[in-house]
Amino acid sequence: MTLLRDADLAAAFDHAARSYDTLVAANPGYHTHLRRSARRLGLADGGRGLRVLDLGCGTGASTAALTAVVPHARITAVDASAGMLQRATDKPWPRNVTFVHAPAERLTQAGIGGAYDAVFAAYLFRNVAQPDSVLTAVHDLLAPHGRLAVHEYTLSGRTVDRAVWTAVCRGLVLPVATALGDGQLYRHLWRSVVEFDTADAFAARVRAAGFDRVRVLPLPGWQTGITHTVIAQRATPDTRTGSR
């Protein structure tokens, strides 16, 4: 199958929104891992006085992770799927959380402007058609020395990790999703991981977009070697790739 992109992917997520939280709740460590990645941003004082962008917030799981870790930050949560965003906004949130319906590729047009102190992107970059363009946009939205945490299914490159991911998808996720009428989306999600960058390749992509202090950090449990947090910081002008 061809990977879903843009409007087709947003529509598939719209349809899957009704059961998405139920499926991810069956994933051991899903919410714990999101909070761990949010903590890896290293934001002090509960985010007091800071602006944080939650890019690709879905039904709000990543937003909940941020509110747990940086409860005092002003959080802007963005997603391209109206259905997923509706599920998110139906939940109770503190007043410092704002939701915006927009694709990651068109943040400026949606009125999202810098400077943000941090950007958190969970399960986003393998689902956009032009990840380099989105990384550049994220870089430009960040304040000097602003931080990025990407929480993503990025395989280690080891054959065993690819095999585990495929076994979990084919043996558990796809049969359940197909029964719920969302097989097309979850087949896309399986393939999007297999065909996307390895963790190290994605880290190189982040560096090329003008970030420094890039680190790849593993996550525990069955997702070791499958899911990683990639941490980075906006480079200063004299260290950005290609600067003069």
Q: pLDDT, tens digit, for every residue of 54-111?
A: 999 999 999 999 999 999 999 999 999 999 999 999 999 999 999 999 999 999 999 9
Per-residue pLDDT reduced to its tens digit, 110-134: 999 989 999 999 999 999 999 999 9
The whole-number pLDDT of residue 155 equals: 98
CA 223 → CA 122, 152, 193, 231, 232, distances in Å?
A: 15, 11, 13, 18, 21
pLDDT at 240 over 70: no
Confidence grade of residue 7 (pLDDT, cut at 50, 70, 90): very high
- Burial class of residue 34, CB neighbours in 10 A (0-12, 13-18, 19+): buried
Task: Return the amino acid letter for 107.
Answer: L
Residue 181 CA: distances (Å) to CA of 8, 11, 117, 177: 15, 13, 39, 6
* Kind and range of the H or E run holding 214: strand 211-218
pLDDT at position 175, please? 96
- 133-151 tens-digit pLDDT: 999 999 999 999 999 999 9
239: pLDDT strictly greater than 70: no
